[in-house]
A = this chain, B = another copy of it.
Amino acid sequence: MTLDHGDPGDAPSIPAPTAPVVNSARPAAAEEARTIAASTNTATLASLSEDGTPWASFVTYGLLDGLPVLCVSRMAEHGRNLEADPRASIAVVEPNPPADPLAGSRITLAGVVELPVGDEAAAAREAHLAAVPAAKYYIDYSDFSLWVLRVRRIRWVGGYGRMDSASAEDYAAAAPDPVVPSAARAIEHLNADHADSLLSMARVLGGYPDASEAACERADRYGLDLRVVTARGVARTRVGYAQRIDSADQLRAATVELARRAREA
């Protein structure tokens, strides 16, 4: 991650915390990448055309242990490209992007595609069909092939100034976040009914004792992302739970504990 931009643009400056951030635990880049990969079934493939130029094309995918499984036709340029040269990458953008597109999350997974064989071929077929039900209409056409992308390089961007790479090993070992996909309602409830608790969290646990407002922007298995308003400007901070949680069901207890800790401090 680097923020070493050149000449400043028009971006407002972001106020720094004036007290320690008590627990800034958050998902690692490999976990973020697995979460984004699991959040949708469409991506853009970059493959190499006959003349060596890069070809961007819309594709659908399923996931087999985090590896994208594509189903593409040899009658399409990208299908011919993969047959001729297995080097490929896909970009996946998290659904429901914010109004400012670059504030959203996305990943690039790069590597080489391979035709799965034996047990893996059956598993890849199931994985693709589970993610893309309409594929049942064409997956068995003889011009379509299933390709597994053996991921070697992972780049995650979580919005402005939040980005990192992950190794293939870390990506393989990581799990998609079990809280993120089902947290929308809980976040709405926190913001609607517990603004006072969020403000205490921001002041006491999040490093912004001068906060006048706080709203939850995301909940994941490690904690909450808070948007904090101060007289010095708007900032983002983090309040980590006492312990990692493993399902959205545990979110309520974890946030109650955060609120209690903020109140009693």
Contact = CB atoms under 8 A, between A and B. Distances in A.
Contacts of A5: 73, 75, 138, 141-143
Interface stretch (A38-46, A229-237, A249-257): A38-46
A89 interface: yes
Contact of A55 (B10, B42, B108): B108
Contact of A60 (B7, B41, B43, B101): B101
A167 interface: no
Interface residues of A, number: 58
B93 A42 contact: yes
A58 B157 contact: yes
Interface stretch (A16-24, A115-123, A129-137, A196-204): A129-137
A41 B87 CA distance: 28
Interface string A150-191: 000001010000000000000000000000000000000000
A4 B42 CA distance: 25
Nearest to A163: B76
A216 interface: no
Interface of A: 2, 4-12, 41-49, 52-58, 60, 73, 75, 77, 87-91, 93, 97, 99-103, 106, 108, 110, 132, 134, 136-144, 155, 157
